[in-house]
Structure 1
């Protein structure tokens, strides 16, 4: 790197001078100068988005060379760039608060002597230095490294700080803090509190970032293509209620932890849970009583915890309805992930915080889904996105009108969006593309494959999908609650695997040979199934359905795998009545990976 070469050149010059480098010295001493050990150049710092990241940091130099280092405890990283050529860009990829993040930073050779932070704020600085999306700046850094001069980096960092100064001051961040270089400690430093309070989203189509806060409706935008010098009077983020929100956020989290504590040792009663609900509670179209009845019937919740609680915003606009929007992860007693719940509301009522649910009038869920179908004629694979849509109470859906269908728009959807037609109450809705809840993007099972490997691979992580309701005449309707603009938004954390990746994956759940034999023996009514190759970090689901000449039946179970990714369970199938025969059986096993992508294996016998 340039900084390293400068040090070595200086050392060589001094050695030559000591040996009489001038031509007039007649000394014949030919003793060579001492060999200089290579100077080690190391970048250190913290990778965090409020919470520390768990993952890795990749640094790239001006020639495109890269090095990777794992992020250590509390977001600390250290990466040796000896021999590389500055300037540098950084990419930190990992998880925090149950979500996947990728953030960037930028530095010159001279910065190696100090700290370089990698946060959502340094991501903005890097993007503004490059005049483009931070991911593109990183990917093409060998072509545009010339933009990363010390003066440009400092100017962009100073301009961002100017926009955020009111927030930083309100949260006690020192006036001399450098957003790029000042060391901080996640979960404790004032700067980290600011990272918790400041949210950044970027529109990839317009290269415009939106900056907002946890505490108010103040929003500013940042055109990544516009340089700091051109922003003579930039918009500034307001600090209203920021200090109050910092105090309220722990109380919001406590409302959730107090609720799940009722399951610490046994299944509580519904009456014991009702005081934790605010008036008007609604979650996935289910009121408090029915929702809690479902929870207390789930044995896996005994000893469960709520973790990775993230307070996205606290809305103080209506003092009578102060409401926090949160996300959190549900884990079993043994620490396995059951679910990640997004966009829940917690309302301040009578001085305390109570659960309000997600306030949605439809049950909605979206996740990447890969399927392996094993049957008598062989094995085939599919990949896509599953949109689970259920309407339990059609009468409460919209502000006016009856929902006939919904349209889902977003990355990878058909032109004009993906249509799901309404079904009867409590039945899963199906799309018009492949008559299923699952939108198949690519398959070798027959049927349409609207996207090839390249198309699926181009889908972004954390893709956003918008759900819009329509009546039978195609008039747009507004959902009645749980929305600010009449639509619902779903996010898919990681893109689906391509079909090639799906077929090569070893992460599909697998039934043992003995279990397959038992599955094929229709006379076996106590059916023990042994499963391997599931993710030990998440719960698994197994369902068996049996078609008979009489009444067909189905059973399902939630399982906690061993550390080796195995489990065994026994289904007690109904005794066959006289004259009734079994036509077929199907076992479906689902296991989510660490990015909430579902790997599903289906066995048909």
Structure 2
């Protein structure tokens, strides 16, 4: 998590003005010209920190001026970078591309100010500066600022100030709580250190989502109600900024109610790295393909509560067995765990949804999502936080999905589709389940019903059966778990909506502003139409976005593989049904899971 970052953030560069010295003779004698002093070269710099809370170490940082002159460097281990901009012309756009939190991403920053000879200007490149760039764009696309015409037209000092002032207004309470001065705070220009105060604490606290409807800012340290605690609980505290409201921004986010510096899982990053420094055979004990115990440095990892742990019905060894026994994870390096949001249970316990990012020895990246809880009071040597899983009995998930592809039936035209993926795995306690109803944001009020697919051989695969809430269904010939919300062709032509399909909303969703991060979805599990076995809630980390936003997504990155591929035990990497070929179908060649 960002709380355990071990990076040093940029020190200020002091540029001294050096004048030539002339030696003078004494005693009334004539001046001795001596050897003239050499003038120090004039240094004109843009420098700053590329970070998302954790440093964007190794990121490729590119600065481009309004004339297209471009310079590139690499961010240091602390995320710091420095570029000589002598002779270049404002406004500038800075991009930082690399891997952070197990995800490949690009952050953007804009500087409208001129940098005079001998001057140094600070330009941080973070999710907050990316939000500013997005709000300068008519399409909410921060990468629009890399278009020189748009950079010149939009990144004027007055426009940038208006957006920065709006962001400062919305974040005022969060900035004050961090110990910084809200009046002088500037996400782009403020110097900060990685001491979990000031801008660093703000980056820990605020999660940024750039959507088709604007920039969503979520306070991760103002706990939301636990999934099971209160069906009417409000979502995570958030504010939406748009091009239309930056002049009169909405009210400020509430201050964090739990300090980021107190949410710490003891030595977890260090211990995980020691564990995965071992070869797979030296990390675990197995009976056949099943992990039964830990070995060596893995055995002493104490950030998990082994007895209490349960994630979607799995034990600790079942849930992490795939990673632990995978030789491809030999030498993997785990980054600082990230707190996505905090949760308060009905009993008042503090929980955190966390992401554990890692980078494999071959350079590929991934992450694990999990849940931690403060299970004991903090002491001088123990924070009291442990990873315990989500405590659900069933393997379920709701994920925002976004597809880009071409359909041979439509002359290969590029199309975009936005929707939700509804997952229910027929294992464990689900052996006698035949119907599952899912309700929540974007789904019909009556609910989407999942049933066992008759096209999948063993019928152990649940697919969408109907969108009417009809529980009389006992099986479905369908194989899809997706529920489409909107679609759009890249060329703007009319998109044919399959309103009669159970996998499509009755009409395309046109207003996505109601979707918020950490949306809450209800699962009702039935043995039969009249025999409800269980009822519980889960959350979708990301909110879906409109398909019409697709053309502006070029260059944006999300996780490119479903979460379960990354973290399920090897013996059940995917509960996947591949139906027999039935002829030409739409070919979706790229899909993102947004989390």
TM-score normalised by L of structure 2: 0.54
- The verdict on how the C-alpha distance between 1:431 and 1:79 changes in structure 2, with shifts beyond 3 A counting, is farther
Higher relative contact order (CA 8 A, sep 6+): 2
1:124 pairs, out of 116, 119, 131, with 131
1:203 pairs, out of 204, 211, 232, with 211
* 1:514-551 superposed Cα distances (whole Å, 9 cap, x missing partner): xxxxxxxxxxxxxxxxxxxxxxxx99xxx9xxxxxxxx
Determine helix, strand or coil for the equivalent of 2:190: coil
Instruction: Give me the whole-angstrom Cα distance separating, in 2, the residues matched to 1:119 and 1:292.
Output: 31
Cα distance, 1:326 vs structure 2 = 0.9
Instruction: Give me the whole-angstrom Cα distance separating, in 1, the residues matched to 2:126 and 2:533.
Output: 36
Kept in 1: contact 2:50–2:75 (CA 8 A): no
Cα distance, 1:236 vs structure 2 = 1.5
Instruction: Give me the whole-angstrom Cα distance separating, in 2, the residues matched to 1:291 and 1:108.
Output: 49
Kept in 2: contact 1:315–1:323 (CA 8 A): yes
Q: Is residue 178 from structure 1 mapped to residue 189 from structure 2 by the alignment?
A: no
- 2:376 corresponding residue in structure 1: 350
Cα distance, 1:312 vs structure 2 = 1.5
Cα distance, 1:247 vs structure 2 = 2.2
- The verdict on how the C-alpha distance between 1:422 and 1:402 changes in structure 2, with shifts beyond 3 A counting, is closer
Kept in 2: contact 1:252–1:324 (CA 8 A): no
Q: Is residue 98 from structure 1 mapped to residue 102 from structure 2 by the alignment?
A: yes
Determine helix, strand or coil for the equivalent of 2:256: coil
Kept in 2: contact 1:388–1:437 (CA 8 A): no
1:341 pairs, out of 341, 364, 368, with 368
Cα distance, 1:148 vs structure 2 = 3.1
Kept in 1: contact 2:96–2:108 (CA 8 A): yes
RMSD: 5.9
* 1:250-269 superposed Cα distances (whole Å, 9 cap, x missing partner): x2263565577567554265
Cα distance, 1:211 vs structure 2 = 3.2
- 1:222 corresponding residue in structure 2: 240
Instruction: Give me the whole-angstrom Cα distance separating, in 2, the residues matched to 1:62 and 1:252.
Output: 45
Q: Is residue 76 from structure 1 mapped to residue 83 from structure 2 by the alignment?
A: no
- The answer to which structure has the higher strand fraction is 1
Kept in 2: contact 1:285–1:392 (CA 8 A): no
Kept in 2: contact 1:285–1:391 (CA 8 A): no
Cα distance, 1:327 vs structure 2 = 1.0
Kept in 1: contact 2:239–2:253 (CA 8 A): no
Determine helix, strand or coil for the equivalent of 1:142: helix
Instruction: Give me the whole-angstrom Cα distance separating, in 2, the residues matched to 1:257 and 1:143.
Output: 45
- 2:548 corresponding residue in structure 1: none
- 1:391 corresponding residue in structure 2: 425
- 1:161 corresponding residue in structure 2: 168
- The verdict on how the C-alpha distance between 1:301 and 1:49 changes in structure 2, with shifts beyond 3 A counting, is closer
Kept in 1: contact 2:131–2:210 (CA 8 A): no
Q: Is residue 135 from structure 1 mapped to residue 142 from structure 2 by the alignment?
A: yes
Kept in 2: contact 1:281–1:288 (CA 8 A): yes
2:261 pairs, out of 246, 267, 270, with 246
Alignment: residue pair count = 432
Kept in 2: contact 1:48–1:186 (CA 8 A): no
Determine helix, strand or coil for the equivalent of 1:163: helix
Q: Which has the larger radius of gyration?
A: 1
Cα distance, 1:596 vs structure 2 = 10
Q: Is residue 422 from structure 1 mapped to residue 456 from structure 2 by the alignment?
A: no
- 2:349 corresponding residue in structure 1: 321
Please, which runs of 5 or more residues in structure 1 have no aligned partner?
1-37, 371-383, 411-416, 440-449, 456-463, 493-537, 544-554, 558-594, 598-605
Q: Is residue 277 from structure 1 mapped to residue 305 from structure 2 by the alignment?
A: yes
Instruction: Give me the whole-angstrom Cα distance separating, in 1, the residues matched to 2:63 and 2:320.
Output: 48
Kept in 2: contact 1:159–1:228 (CA 8 A): yes
* 1:461-499 superposed Cα distances (whole Å, 9 cap, x missing partner): xxx999986889999x99955624xx686999xxxxxxx
Determine helix, strand or coil for the equivalent of 2:267: helix
Instruction: Give me the whole-angstrom Cα distance separating, in 1, the residues matched to 2:189 and 2:157.
Output: 13
TM-score normalised by L of structure 1: 0.53
Determine helix, strand or coil for the equivalent of 1:357: coil
- The verdict on how the C-alpha distance between 1:157 and 1:387 changes in structure 2, with shifts beyond 3 A counting, is closer
Instruction: Give me the whole-angstrom Cα distance separating, in 2, the residues matched to 1:287 and 1:221.
Output: 37
Kept in 2: contact 1:199–1:214 (CA 8 A): no
